[in-house]
A and B are shown apart, each in its own frame.
Chain A
Amino acid sequence: GQQVMQIPQYQHVQEGEDFTTYCNSSTTLSNIQWYKQRPGGHPVFLIQLVKSGEVKKQKRLTFQFGEAKKNSSLHITATQTTDVGTYFCAGLLYGGSQGNLIFGKGTKLSVKP
């Protein structure tokens, strides 16, 4: 079936370093959403990107949607220990009859203080 691939699976960084996770789809997406799940918690919505080439910022987080609407990235500048968790992308297939979000497997971020 259709998949949304997310890399890397794990990322260990020193506090203050930057972090990036990438999301790729073989099929054009209508939109892409990003979620964060803290250890022991549930996924929490971060942002939705809809337009080709869109870039959105939330404080130290920068989200991008590729020009072809097949890939996306989340970049965190100067990580903090509060950034620990798993980051998921979820894409909605363009023109798909299913109409459900397909989640990537997530990137688990650990931050060493």
Chain B
Amino acid sequence: KAGVTQTPRYLIKTRGQQVTLSCSPISGHRSVSWYQQTPGQGLQFLFEYFSETQRNKGNFPGRFSGRQFSNSRSEMNVSTLELGDSALYLCASSLIGRGNSPLHFGNGTRLTVT
């Protein structure tokens, strides 16, 4: 079974720009969650999508948004980038989500904002 695929692996953007990250979950997994990982704050939950609906959201500003398509693939968008948005963005798929089943993480997208 193929794992979770995230693209791109690396991104360098300038302050004020926007960025879109993509995630393809494991086949059969309908839940996709996004996390931001930084050395200081650890793994912080952004949002979870299940069957194209956002059913959970973390404490991030509205500049962070996402969506899920009918094939369960998900995208995350960050608008008006700030220096503090530099981080590793991890996508994780799971069978049923809501913290009740294991998360399978992708390799992440390393975003650098200059």
**Chain A contacts to B: CB under 8 angstroms:** 1, 30-31, 33, 35, 41-45, 48, 88, 90, 92, 98-106
Contact = CB atoms under 8 A, between A and B. Distances in A.
Contact of A100 (B58, B105, B106): B58
A92 B97 CA distance: 11
Given A98-B56, A100-B33, A31 B105 contact: no
Interface in B40-97: 41-45, 48, 55-56, 58-59, 90, 92, 97
Contacts of B106: 42
A100 B100 contact: no
Given A99-B55, A103-B42, A42 B102 contact: no
B56 A44 contact: no
A44 B58 CA distance: 21
A12 to B, nearest CB: 18
Contacts of B42: 88, 103-106
A101 B42 CA distance: 13
A105 B38 CA distance: 10
Give the dominant DSSP class at A's interface. strand
A48 B43 CA distance: 18
Contacts of B48: 99-100
Given A42-B90, A43-B43, 19 more contacts: A1-B59, A31-B100, A33-B102, A35-B103, A42-B108, A44-B105, A88-B42, A88-B43, A90-B43, A90-B99, A92-B100, A99-B56, A99-B97, A99-B98, A99-B99, A100-B48, A101-B99, A104-B42, A106-B43
B99 A31 contact: yes
Contacts of A43: 43, 90, 92, 103, 105
Nearest to A50: B100
Contacts of B13: none
